[in-house]
Amino acid sequence: MLPLLIVFFILSLDQISKFFISAKLQLEQSLPLVKGVVGLTLVHNRGAAFGILRNQVYLFIIAGVAAIVLIYFGIKSNKGNKSYVICLSLILAGALGNLIDRLRFGYVIDFINFYIWPVFNVADSAITIGAIFLAWIIFRGKV
């Protein structure tokens, strides 16, 4: 039940935030939140992380579906390890959020802008947080 709640919450937050940002900002328009630190900038990312492999939509869709299937089975087979399941659930939610964008639009909607880092979204954050904690768990030998 916990994985389902995590995925539902993160996926909802991701899709709702993308909907509102897309409705309020024009493409490439920025709205500073803390001057020089963080703002909102609407970007259509047609690549992977940092915009690499631009316009490879089908590759990203196939890779996304494959990752989602593998993560699902990872969650299903490790229900006894709560930390591992939480990490995989975060990664799954992020993968689903970005896959939905690619299927709907052919690109991923990004909007969180720290100015010193490429623009990203809630799904990207969930993937990153899940992956960092998963690496930490594996490094500590808790899997």
Catalytic residue from among 100, 113, 120, 124: 124
pLDDT band at 57 (very low <50, low <70, confident <90, very high): confident
Share of the chain above pLDDT 70, in %: 93
Catalytic residue from among 110, 120, 123, 126: 110
Tell me: the pLDDT tens digits for 28-37? 999 999 999 9
- State the total domains in the chain: 1
Q: What is the pLDDT of residue 49?
A: 66
In a domain, 143, yes or no: no
Q: Is 110 a catalytic residue?
A: yes
Instruction: Give 123's contacts (C-beta < 8 A, 6+ positions apart).
Output: 10, 11, 14, 93, 94, 95, 96, 97, 98, 101, 108
In a domain, 130, yes or no: yes
pLDDT at 51 over 70: no
Q: Is 14 a catalytic residue?
A: no
In a domain, 103, yes or no: yes
- How crowded is residue 16: how many other Cβ atoms within 10 Å of its Cβ? 11
Q: Which domain, by its residues, includes 120?
A: 2-137
pLDDT band at 104 (very low <50, low <70, confident <90, very high): very high
In a domain, 142, yes or no: no
